[in-house]
Amino acid sequence: MRVQAIGITKRFGSDDAALNGVDVEVRSGELMALLGPSGSGKTTLLRVIAGLETPDSGRVMFGDEDATDIPVRKRRVGFVFQHYALFRHMTVFDNIAFGLRVRGRERPSRAEIAARVGELLRLVQLEEYGRRRPNQLSGGQRQRIALARALAVDPRVLLLDEPFGALDARVRKDLRRSLRDIHDATGRTTIFVTHDQDEALELADRVAILNNGILEQIGTPDEVHDHPASAFVMSFVGESSRLPATVSGGRVLFRDTPVPVTAGIGADGPAALYLRPWDIAFTSGPAGFAGHVVMVRRAAGGRRAEVALDGPDAPHVEVGVPVGASVARGENVRIEIRGGRIFPA
């Protein structure tokens, strides 16, 4: 089921728009992440797609059907909340079966409900937990049950609002793999909200990045990380450092010294130079820029050194530390810039 949000604008009272003309298309069978910081509009967009919020303008399309004015109970969406929202007085079996039992005339038979619940318990790998109650489960198990309950009603679209936010890091990682496996097994069009870039880049087929109600970029994890469309995306997705720069005659200058860039040179004038840790290297020669190490930390399976460059403004940059290299806090060093991206200042 293809899902489109077309020109969605949503305001709450007199505040700035939570969503401002957002256009997003989710392809049939795709797993898409809505990524952004708190207040970016990602949860509001998810709730508009679900029918829990009505947009001030714009349309929501499910396939060729305009779903904008269809009430939430008739949209056939499955919704998984961050805090599970399971019925504490019901067993796991009854929680999963709930949506099927309240269908009225369309309610399946008891045997069909039992078969469907059993199928979903196997899918989420909790076959032996049907008679337990939610308070007898771990957080990760409860979230699996919430996912099974959302799938029970055979939704056209599956929506998840920060589904791993209440879990510890190890459980989140395991559950991310499970969600990807379940998505691949069911082929359900799935949209999930997260502020965790690692989560989005690991799980999603494509990522839609929002900031202050605006869609900044939509693309594959590689596209948004390696080819950011804006300074915000560059700074929000992946590690980066920012230096004040100047563009002059097709060259990029930092402190009047030309530096190479991989993309982004525009018109002459002030600019912002963004650098990934691997765009910077330590050097032992006289070239480059002097500074001192502020701290050394572990990151992404390696080490990063935060270096404060000498000078009145003393900007800080993150530098990748080569395997086996010795770098200590307080050490005087020189760094060279080997690449980067330029965005308007």
- In total, how many domains does the chain have? 2
The answer to whether residues 80 and 212 belong to one domain is yes
In the chain, the percentage of residues whose pLDDT exceeds 70 is 99
Q: Which of 103, 90, 194 is nearest to 154 (CA)?
A: 103
Question: What is the Cα–Cα distance from 147 to 139, expressed in whole angstroms?
Answer: 12
The answer to whether residues 163 and 296 belong to one domain is no
In the chain, the percentage of residues whose pLDDT exceeds 90 is 79
The answer to whether residues 257 and 209 belong to one domain is no
pTM of the model: 0.90
Domain, as residue range, for 96? 3-233
The answer to whether residues 208 and 273 belong to one domain is no
Q: What is the pLDDT of residue 314?
A: 87
Q: Is the pLDDT of residue 244 over 90?
A: yes
Q: Which of 88, 196, 186 is nearest to 142 (CA)?
A: 88
The answer to whether residues 61 and 186 belong to one domain is yes
- Average pLDDT (329-336) is 95
Last residue of a domain, one of 210, 233, 256: 233
Half-sphere exposure of 244 toward its Cβ, with a 13 Å CA cutoff? Answer: 9
The answer to whether residues 117 and 203 belong to one domain is yes
Question: What is the Cα–Cα distance from 271 to 268, expressed in whole angstroms?
Answer: 9
Last residue of a domain, one of 197, 217, 233: 233
- Average pLDDT (215-244) is 96
* 131 contact partners, CB below 8 Å, separation of at least 6: 91, 92, 93
Element (H, E) at 200: helix 197-203
Q: What is the pLDDT of residue 166?
A: 66
The answer to whether residues 224 and 323 belong to one domain is no
Last residue of a domain, one of 186, 213, 233: 233
The answer to whether residues 94 and 142 belong to one domain is yes
CATH number (domain holding residue 221): 3.40.50.300
Low-confidence winner among 88-97, 171-180, 264-273 (lowest mean pLDDT): 171-180
The answer to whether residues 120 and 172 belong to one domain is yes
CA angle 136, 141, 146 (to 5 degrees): 105
- Average pLDDT (189-199) is 94
Q: Is the pLDDT of residue 188 over 80?
A: yes
Higher pLDDT, 165 or 29: 29
Task: Work out the mean pLDDT of the chain and round it to a whole number.
Answer: 92
The answer to whether residues 187 and 283 belong to one domain is no
Chain segment 83-139, per-residue pLDDT in tens = 778 999 999 999 999 999 988 778 899 999 999 999 999 999 999 999 999 999 998
